[in-house]
Chain A
Amino acid sequence: MAAINRDDVAHLARLAHIEMSAQELDRMAGELAVIVDSVKSVSEAAGDDVPATSHPIPLSNVFREDVVGHTFTAEQALSGAPDSLEFRFKVPAILDEA
């Protein structure tokens, strides 16, 4: 059983800016441990001859030529913004998180 305790979940929730109740933290700690164990079972199927990979498709070097394409106008860019000023997104002042 993977060791994922309640504190780990609370830490992750804080990093991800997700508010979770005490009850949710308890439940998630148990569920996450099961999920991690399930994923782990994949490594039992893969032999030593199967290298670890982060991408399932054997593809590499997908590039774009350095040619300018389309852009938005400032109005278009800001059309979904909750608030804007002087053609810029307006956001609450955010201090460095101490």
Chain B
Amino acid sequence: MNTDAILSFEEAMEKYDPVLGFEVHVELNTKTKMFSSAPNVFGDEPNTNVNEVDLGMPGVLPVVNKAAIESSIKIGLALNCKIAESCRFARKNYFYPDTPKNFQTSQYDEPIAYDGYLDIELSDGTVFRVEIERAHMEEDAGKLTHMGGATGRIQGADFSLVDYNRAGVPLVEIVTKPIEGAGSRAPELAKAYVAAVREIVKNLGVSDAKMERGNVRCDANVSLRPHGRERFGIRSETKNVNSLRAVEHAVRYEIQRHAAVLDSGEPVIQETRHWHEDTRTTTSGRAKSDADDYRYFPEPDLVPVVPSREWVEELRATLPEPPAARRKRLQADWGYSDLEFRDVVNAGVMDEIEETIAAGASASVARKWWMGEIVGRAKNADVDPGQLGVQPATIVELARMVEEGKINNKMASEVLDGVLAGEGTPADIVEKRGLAVVSDDGPLLEAIDAALAAQPDVADKIRGGKVQAIGAIVGGVMKATRGQADAARVRELILEKLGVTV
């Protein structure tokens, strides 16, 4: 279905300079909607979280949700924006069944937050500043399901079904200024920018920030211009790119597509594109035309929002540490190398490690357990590491038992399996499974004698000073004791027995 020519990304980069722009919509997690007291809940039965305001019935009046204003101001502050002294809502007029009022209540000429920036760290540590034009408040639309037709897409549908549960859910739309100078890193920057916005709103606690549920949605604008030219090219806007990976792919694809259009001597058409995850391509939506003449005008049913400076400062004081600053602080506190820390972040266990350390584990023990034991188990179970339900206290207890010599690392790993299987506390499992390091030297000495007798040549080497050969004897003892011996103690006893001091 897609016949658009594309250039290779490398060739596109040789010839053209990309300019990006993003509109990211963030659904707030307030208890109620932006202008009505109906619940803001995902996944309920259709058309049950609605009242007369959400359905746009005649004569109803909207009332602004104070918590949504506070969340919006927090987002503005976290994006280093100025908060408007006064702002107002506006009506954006269009006819589409997802909007029962035939207009969306939004902000137009007076957004609540403007002129901000976000410093985005790329994978190699390069910091790229993205300028924020504005963050404005608006309401979400209802959900349309296209029925009939072959694909479930709008093309060829026989009719559509509308659920207005989402209509009126508070949104903050974050709009960047044109992003220039990213060059071949544009796709990576796109992904990193959306990831950073998502992380910020999650960290602020103002959104559930689940992209798969549409809590964070991205429209990506891409245009190309020949190197050295200042004037921007004509842009396309790819709608609803709803995963971080898709953001990267969509920007990359649009760069390649634009380059092929420009190479053919044709102008790029200013239009909406739809992203298709299955083919990793975009297709043409509609051209920008009269349909974009929204005839905005000030919403007469809502009075201006005038956030006092005291209120703004109160909210600023509640802001959590920004995610990037927190990462820097934690890495320094924990003493992890850049590589170790990046692995921890990529594995998604930074919060878990922080909690484990707070519960009393050392930084290295916490990392060993999460990265060495739990991440692998989570991968096998196909869940996030945090979802396995490992309690920080469990890790602290396991680490303590190892340190005290009650169990060894291998047994501790087995005990963790028991905890995850719901068999009880680590102490219970050690008891039940009869796991304990053999600490009585008697049986150990017997096993050592046997191991030395079995490998007399190794014993001679150790006597002769080649202490590193001891591994073979320790291994023999561990095997004989089915892994229950304390390897460090075994080593001591062997050296003692052979009269070697190190």
Contacts and interface: CB of A to CB of B under 8 A. Distances in A.
B67 A66 contact: yes
Contacts of B285: 96
- Interface size bucket, A side? 35 or more
A64 B64 contact: yes
Contacts of B305: 60-61
Interface in A70-88: 70-74, 77-78, 85-88
B364 interface: no
B157 A93 contact: yes
A58 to B, nearest CB: 9
A27 interface: no
A40 interface: no
A93 B148 CA distance: 10
B465 to A, nearest CB: 75
Given A15-B290, A68-B37, A97-B286, A91 B31 contact: no
A54 interface: yes
A94 B158 CA distance: 9
Interface in B124-163: 145-146, 148-149, 154-155, 157-163
B348 interface: no
A74 B38 CA distance: 13
Interface string B341-367: 000000000000000000000000000
B80 interface: no
B324 interface: no
Given A64-B65, A70-B51, A92-B159, A87 B304 contact: no
- Interface size bucket, B side? 35 or more
A70 B36 CA distance: 9
Contacts of B65: 63-64, 66
B293 A63 contact: no
B243 interface: no
A59 B304 CA distance: 7
A38 to B, nearest CB: 18
B286 to A, nearest CB: 4
A88 B162 contact: yes
A96 B240 CA distance: 15
Contacts of B51: 69-72
Interface stretch (B185-193, B259-267, B295-303): B295-303
Nearest to A70: B51
Interface in B53-101: 55, 63-69, 86, 88, 93, 95-97
B46 interface: yes
Contact of A87 (B46, B68, B96, B159): B46
Interface in B15-41: 30-32, 36-39
A17 B95 contact: yes
Given A55-B304, A86-B46, A93-B146, A69 B32 contact: yes
Contacts of B96: 94
Interface of A: 11, 14-17, 54-55, 57, 59-74, 77-78, 85-98
The 7 closest A-B pairs by CB, nearest first: A69-B37, A54-B298, A66-B67, A63-B66, A88-B161, A89-B162, A93-B157
